[in-house]
């Protein structure tokens, strides 16, 4: 069964990690229900694995390395150190140093993977049937629902009077860990609050792929709230949640 013509480029982008969180969720959802695209994705992955095998890669012969090492430009007097840089010349050396500096500056931070997983999980939860495992506005149902499913007890305050009604909860996975996801609404918008045990660390606020994210720690738990509401409203949610939880 052939893959859908309008999905072929997206399948390649998914395999190469070139898609943003929203498109990752859309393509993954399509692949889950389309046999042709799923088979094509599996074929592409198998081909990639084959090309990475040691017996398929072409290695340059030793004779080529000896010929390069024998080039007069690389055997200049006093060129025992950094021969290639001397051959390239001062301009190339400066350009190389500048490129290394830029590469260092643009390396993703330690939280980049976690941030992307939070956004991806939020987008996936917005698909039909994925938002809650337990759907209720009653905190006395949501909080005990987590008992026995995770080894910590997240607070589940009622915030309906402040404009953030409780919608339910579910289990999710962030960075390879099972986390509690507490779901609130803000008008027609969804606020996912992820909670997991972690050492206390600094608060963080940022916007990624159009979603506002607020992270904070308290009493050995890490919290990450995400929504497409304005960052100021998510900050308000954070303050209300903390006040009600304490």
Please tell me what DSSP assigns to residue 236: H
The token pair at 147 is 């008992």
Stated length of the chain: 246
Whether residue 79 has pLDDT greater than 50: no
Residues 6+ apart with CB under 8 A from 141: 134
1-11 pLDDT, tens digit per residue, is 788 877 888 88
Please tell me what DSSP assigns to residue 56: T
Which of 15-19, 50-54, 72-76 has maximum average pLDDT?
15-19
Whether residue 195 has pLDDT greater than 90: yes
**What pLDDT sits at residue 106?**
39
Q: What angle do CA 10, 15, 21 make, to 5 degrees?
A: 65
CA atoms within 13 A on the CB side of 226: 23
The token pair at 196 is 């997991």
Q: Which CATH architecture has domain 112-245?
A: 2-Layer Sandwich (3.30)
Category of 158 on φ-ψ map: left (φ > 0), alpha (ψ -120 to 50) or beta: beta
User: Of 147, 148, 146, 192, whose CA–CA distance to 166 is shortest?
Assistant: 192
CA atoms within 13 A on the CB side of 6: 4
Burial of 177 (0-12, 13-18, 19+ CB in 10 A): middle
- Residue 151 · residue 171 · CB < 8 Å: no
Give the end-to-end CA distance of the chain in Å, rounded to a whole number.
56
What strand order describes the sheet that includes 189-197? 134-135, 166-174, 177-186, 189-197, 221-227, 211-218, 204-208
13-39 pLDDT, tens digit per residue, is 888 877 777 778 888 888 888 888 888
Domain ranges within the chain, ordered by starting residue: 5-51, 62-106, 112-245
Report pTM: 0.58
54 backbone dihedrals φ, ψ, rounded to 5°:
-60, -35
């Amino acid at each position: 069964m052939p893959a859908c013509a309008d999905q072929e480029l997206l399948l390649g982008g998914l395999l190469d990690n070139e898609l943003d969180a929203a498109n990752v969720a859309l393509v993954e959802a399509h692949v889950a229900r389309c046999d042709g695209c799923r088979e094509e994705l599996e074929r592409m992955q198998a081909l990639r694995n084959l090309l990475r095998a040691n017996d398929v890669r072409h290695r340059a012969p030793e004779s080529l390395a000896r010929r390069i090492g024998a080039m007069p430009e690389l055997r200049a007097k006093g060129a025992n150190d950094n021969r290639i840089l001397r051959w390239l010349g001062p301009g190339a050396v400066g350009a190389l140093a500048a490129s290394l500096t830029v590469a260092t500056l643009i390396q993703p931070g330690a939280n980049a993977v976690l941030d992307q997983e939070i956004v991806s999980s939020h987008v996936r939860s917005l698909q039909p049937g994925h938002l809650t495992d337990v759907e209720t506005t009653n905190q006395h149902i949501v909080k005990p629902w987590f008992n026995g499913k995770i080894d910590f007890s997240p607070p589940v305050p009622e915030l309906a009077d402040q404009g953030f009604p409780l919608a339910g909860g579910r289990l999710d996975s962030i960075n390879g860990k099972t986390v509690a996801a507490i779901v609130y609404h803000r008008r027609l918008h969804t606020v996912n609050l992820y909670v997991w045990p972690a050492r206390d660390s600094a608060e963080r606020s940022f916007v990624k792929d159009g979603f506002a994210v607020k992270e904070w720690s308290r009493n050995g738990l890490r919290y990450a709230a995400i929504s497409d509401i304005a960052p100021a409203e998510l900050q308000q949610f954070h303050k209300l949640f903390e006040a009600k939880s304490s």
